[in-house]
Chain A
Amino acid sequence: QSALTQPASVSGSPGQSITISCTGTSSDVGGYNYVSWYQQHPGKAPKLMIYDVSNRPSGVSNRFSGSKSGNTASLTISGLQAEDEADYYCSSYTSSSTPLVFGGGTKLTVL
């Protein structure tokens, strides 16, 4: 099954805000509020940043926020910091043969 579509890369300067999109279909992103976002630093395991479209786990900075419109979910990081530089992946429940699908990942560069 097809992965969710994310931009390959985004960049921003410290203090700025950036948004990463995650586009799917009505069978996944558009059909359910089960979108999660994960942060992955090089050589490390992914870390949950946002779940159920817009909820933040305990311990995750409120600079991270999520939203959804139609078949596209978005992750916004405000007040960019150097440590935000990482790869970001979205995931969604899907009604297809397997229950979960990931986005292709977005590399965030903090200039």
Chain B
Amino acid sequence: EVQLVESGGGLVQPGGSLRLSCAASGFTFSSYAMHWVRQAPGKGLEYVSAISSNGGSTYYANSVKGRFTISRDNSKNTLYLQMGSLRAEDMAVYYCARVLPSYVIDPWGQGTLVTVSS
């Protein structure tokens, strides 16, 4: 069974940092691009970042560029999102997701909640 399990969310103060992890299983992790997508409370889905299968290419939404860094360790089947200079507007559930051809996202992880508050 294909599974994505996020961890690392929690409460952080404005300006602080947090690293999210996503453990993948049930598929050949190194063969797939991966995305991070977030959802603020009561709001819609927002694309955050993407990374190619070998980690050689990365993409960021303008809202997080320069503050967030996506990376992956294919030997550990794990995706990361290093988040810095966190703001109130970064508060959201962060989903890890596998990217299929045609930019199809399937499956999604269960999400991890990041709360930014003093």
A and B bind: yes
Q: Which of A10-18, A62-70, A97-105 forms contacts with chain B?
A: A97-105
Residue of A nearest to B45 (CB): A102
Please name 10 further chain A to chain B contacts, defined as beta carbons within 8 Å, in addition to the given A98-B47, A98-B59, A98-B61, sorted by A numbering: A36-B103, A36-B104, A46-B105, A47-B108, A48-B104, A51-B104, A89-B45, A91-B105, A100-B103, A102-B37
Residues in chain A within 8 A of chain B (CB atoms): 1, 3, 33-34, 36, 38, 45-48, 51-52, 57, 87, 89, 91-93, 97-105
Chain B interface: which size bin? 20 to 34
Residues of B within 8 A of A98 (CB): 47, 50, 59-62
Q: Which residues of B contact A104 (CB under 8 A)?
A: 44
Contact of B104 among A3, A52, A87 (CB under 8 A): A52
